[in-house]
Every structure is written in C-alpha cells, then in structure tokens.
C-alpha cells in the first residue's frame, strides 16, 4: 500500500476535491474536539499533513504519523513552507511496530482505518496510546460495494459503524457515537457520479 501513496504523494495536495474534503472534515472535527491548553494529538495516516495543518491551533503539539516515505517528505515541505513548528512528522508503521515514545490527549484520522488489515489490533494500540479520558475520532467510509478504490485493493471496503462499536467496546472505549459527516462523489472514471458516504466516529478512553 505504501507504493500507491508514495507515487501519489507529489500530486496529493493538487486535487481540489481532496482539499475541500479535508477542510470540511476539519470543521466537523472542531465540533467534537475540546480545546485545552497544552493538549497533544496524534494523526494516524497523516498523509501530507493537510488535516493537521487545518487543526493546528487546537493543540500544543501534533505528531503526524504515516508509513509512506514520500507522503512524509511532502509533509515536511508543507510545514517548512508554512513555518509551522509544533507539528512533528514521523515515518512509522503502527501496524507492524509498537509506538512507545509518548501518549496523547487525542487521536484522529481521515480515511486511514480501512487500509488497516487487523482492526482489532490497531484499535488496541490506539487505546494504549491515549491518556485517560482522551478522545479518539476518525472519519471513514461506510460499507461500500468494493468500487471506491477502482484498483486492486485487499483491505476493507468501508465499515458498518455498529460493528466497529463492538470492537471499540472490547478494547475499553466508552461514549461511542457516530454520524454521517461527508459524501465523496466520483468526478471521473468508471464510477463517475457515484457517491460514497463517510461517517465520523468518536469515543473516549476511560478515566480509570
């Protein structure tokens, strides 16, 4: 999967539909993330950093985690160009390794979870990376018919939020809620005009 994102990285931010989607999702995330002085966040599957740049004023520090080297290179360029210093990109594959450098007050992601093979395992890793009472929020595809990617794809064709809720409960998450938040409409290709809805799911780690 890294090869696809590596090859797409240089042109990722040139797609105006991608930029609009990210900005609209940032607006939705702002509604559920409480601003607190000194809080830290992790963006999982940060790509070129567009979402975290849009949320940069909500956090004292944001760690931008991605497993694509080329995406991280573009992120570094974006942060330097905008003179942003409290966002830290790291090249890291959380599916394959355990991250132990720090914990966070919030974890969020955009369209990344469906690329993860072992959902139960990654959810447990998220739980362990959060401070007590911390928020997790992610945006992803509702279950779709397999046509969204229009290429070879072996991970998840979206999710039923109700099934994710059960996985989250098993890991210890509380206050789980979800709602529709965006709709992607294909502009071209074999599925031009077809729409794919996204949901925003939020939950919290227990205080104790």
Q: Where are the domains of the chain?
A: 2-205
In angstroms, the CA 40 to CA 131 distance is 10
Q: What is the pTM of this model?
A: 0.91
CA–CA dist 15, 171 (Å, integer): 36
Q: At what angle do helices 161-171 and 119-129 cross, to 10 degrees?
A: 50
Q: Which residues of the chain have pLDDT under 50?
A: 1
164: helix, strand or coil: helix
The domain 2-205 is placed in CATH, from the list 3.40.50.150, 3.40.50.720, 3.30.1950.10, 3.90.190.20, at: 3.40.50.150
DSSP summary character for residue 142: B
Measured over the CA atoms of residue 90, residue 136, residue 86 and residue 23, the dihedral's sign is positive
Query: Are the C-beta atoms of 174 and 129 separated by less than 8 Å?
Result: no
Q: Residue 16, Cβ neighbours under 10 Å: how many?
A: 9
**What is the model's pLDDT at position 2?**
53
pLDDT of res. 39: 97
Residue 7 pLDDT: 59
């Amino acid at each position: 999967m890294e090869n696809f994102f590596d090859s797409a990285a240089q042109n990722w931010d040139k797609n105006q539909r991608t930029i609009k989607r990210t900005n609209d999702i940032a607006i939705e995330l702002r509604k559920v993330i409480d601003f607190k002085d000194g809080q830290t966040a992790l963006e999982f599957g940060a790509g070129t950093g567009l979402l975290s740049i849009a949320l940069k004023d909500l956090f004292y520090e944001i760690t931008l985690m991605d497993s694509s080297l080329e995406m991280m290179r573009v992120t570094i360029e974006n942060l330097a160009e905008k003179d942003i210093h409290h966002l830290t990109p790291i090249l890291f594959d959380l599916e394959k390794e355990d991250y132990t450098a720090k914990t966070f007050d919030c974890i969020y992601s955009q369209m990344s979870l469906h690329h993860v093979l072992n959902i139960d395992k990654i959810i447990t890793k998220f739980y362990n990376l959060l401070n007590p009472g911390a928020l997790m929020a992610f945006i992803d595809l509702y279950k779709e018919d397999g046509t969204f990617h229009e290429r070879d794809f072996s991970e998840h064709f979206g999710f039923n939020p109700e099934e994710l809720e059960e996985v989250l409960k098993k890991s210890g998450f509380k206050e789980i809620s979800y709602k529709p938040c965006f709709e992607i409409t294909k502009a071209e290709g074999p599925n031009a005009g077809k729409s794919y809805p996204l949901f925003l799911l939020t939950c919290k780690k227990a205080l104790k």
